[in-house]
Amino acid sequence: MKIHYPNGQPYQVKRIQQSKGKKLIYGNRGMTLEEDLNETNKFYLVNRIAVIHKKPTPVQIVDVDYPRRSAAVIKEAYFKQPSTTDYNGVYKGKYLDFEAKETKSATSFPLKNFHEHQISHMKEVLFHGGISFVILRFSTTEEVFLLEAKDLFVFWNRMVKGGRKSITKEEIAQFGYNIPLGFQPRIDYIKLINQLYY
């Protein structure tokens, strides 16, 4: 049986063999958080639910090699400026802006994954009445959480004052919201945004 996303791309179910004696696990576990969110955002767009896009990273190309007329190879490039957050868009007349991060740790989320300019950007979004949050994935357990920016700031400030340099999984579960993985959409964060803001 062939399954396709609304955009026509095939959905691939990967079969993963665990160590001997353990049962097989089925599912699309090879997808990164970014790939899952991009597919989710395509679903939202096609179904006219929301318009959310991944922000391009501004890059200054310095050196290009042209081995053939039909091919160019970038040899040297630099980031023009620090990027802000990963995604932005509009849902029900409100501006949405969020960062997506994943970790291999099963017990905590390192705050070093965030940068000062991203925190400042999210604060500005909230100041101007937008909705800002982070989507965090624990890749070893395939658990995904939405943590509002205002709650992220509490943990960030704790670190800045010399406290813990990570957010425990228990804290994320307490202050954040679990997003169960689905089929279409894969990571239905808009459902949570509806509950929290509308």
Show binding-site residues for Mg(2+). 84, 86, 99, 118
- Of 177, 180, 170, 178, residue with least CA distance to 108: 170
With contact defined as beta carbons under 8 Å apart, do 58 and 64 qualify? no
Structure tokens at 62: 């310095």
* Cβ neighbours of residue 141 closer than 8 Å, sequence gap 6 or more: 106
Q: How many CA atoms lie within 13 A of 140 on its CB side?
A: 8
* Residues forming beta bridges with residue 137, ordered by sequence position: 102, 144
Q: How far is CA 180 from CA 144, 167, 186, in A?
A: 7, 20, 9
Which residues participate in the annotated binding site? 84, 86, 99, 118
DSSP-based three-state secondary structure for 121:
helix
Which of 86, 89, 82 is CA-nearest to residue 52? 89
End-to-end CA distance of the chain: 39
Residues 163 and 78: their CA atoms lie apart, in Å, by: 34
